Amino acid sequence: MVTQRNTWQRERVRDALAGARGFVSAQSLHAALRDDNTGIGLATVYRALAGLAASGEADSLQSPEGEALYRACSMTGHHHHLICRSCGLTIEIEATAVEQWARETAARHGFRDAEHVVDIFGLCESCAAKQS
Amino acid sequence: MVTQRNTWQRERVRDALAGARGFVSAQSLHAALRDDNTGIGLATVYRALAGLAASGEADSLQSPEGEALYRACSMTGHHHHLICRSCGLTIEIEATAVEQWARETAARHGFRDAEHVVDIFGLCESCAAKQS
DNA sequence: TTAGGTGCAAAACCTTTGCACACAG
DNA sequence: CTGTGTGCAAAGGTTTTGCACCTAA
């Protein structure tokens, strides 16, 4: 395993990520840390996030707007997300049945080394209430 | 419904999209049309693709590299994709079981207006053979 | 005619990279 | 010390936008 030093910047990124309720962009994460008087650089945030994603501590996905979104990963192994499209609240879900369906579908069409993306977007209870 | 004029540029984009075996980026689509002596502009390709996606004639998704990928949509209604990560071959699949699972999962957590993303990436048979 | 489309180039955007300096180990 | 990490700024990439001209209806 590659070396991974323990700098206060990485701590802050890790903390900010853990404190976020849902997926956050590198940009907004940097903006938030900026506002906390930390002189942290944008590049550092990107590098820290890439490191966290590589080591499995964070999850990443592409937003429809073209940004990369990150979130602290609590569940070990493979899992999926239920995401509120309004407030960003994210719930990690297991999908054993879907896993199997994906494997079978890939196999039926002769595909190998199949990976899959399964995410559900919706309005969480509180956001749905607000919008009523 | 908004007006949608019938220009040769849009025809070419539509044709190129229909002729592609899988998802293609706006950039490569433009490059391909460029090579066919058409003086089509990059902005026009983007605008045409946005229009096709808006009218449901095309599907779009974000590649992990941050590009927007498009594909002609043959199946009506909601569907998912099985995509070769090497050659881009795309197979449209139905996933009734997954649809239901997604609805149930969303409902169980109090989410409303749930949509979902379900795509499988892998190596298709011929690409797997080539790589052996 | 005329509202909308097109091309070009510039701008906006997110992300990566080069480099000198700082710092954890 | 020494090899990494950092900050800054510049560069790289994709996508959008402004504007004058063009064109389908």
Which residues 6+ apart lie within 8 Å of B81 measured at CB? B23, B59, B61, B71, B90, B91, B92, B93, B119, B120
Give the CA-to-C1' distance from B26 to C9 in angstroms.
Answer: 19
A127 touches strand D (CB under 7 A): no
Answer yes or no: do B124 and A101 touch at CB < 8 A.
no
The CATH number of A77-132 is 3.30.1490.190
Distance between the alpha carbon (CA) of B65 and the C1' atom of C19, Å:
26
Q: Where in chain A is the domain with CATH 1.10.10.10?
A: 1-74
Q: Are B111 and A124 an interchain contact pair (Cβ–Cβ within 8 Å)?
A: yes
CA–CA separation, A41 vs A49, rounded Å?
13
Mutate to test the interface with A, among B46, B105, B123 (most CBs of A within 10 A): B105
Tens-digit pLDDT profile for residues B3-54:
677 899 999 999 999 888 778 999 999 999 988 888 899 999 999 999 998 8
Q: Which of B111, B4, B124 is nearest to B57 (CA)?
A: B4
Fold designation for B1-74: Arc Repressor Mutant, subunit A (1.10.10)
Per-position pLDDT tens, chain A of length 132: 556 788 999 999 999 998 887 789 999 999 999 888 888 999 999 999 999 988 888 888 888 788 899 988 766 667 788 888 777 788 888 888 888 999 999 999 999 888 887 888 888 898 888 766
Nearest nt (C1') from A46 Cα: C15
Residues of CATH 3.30.1490.190 domain(s) within chain B? 77-132
Strands A24-25 and A68-72, by their bridges, are: antiparallel
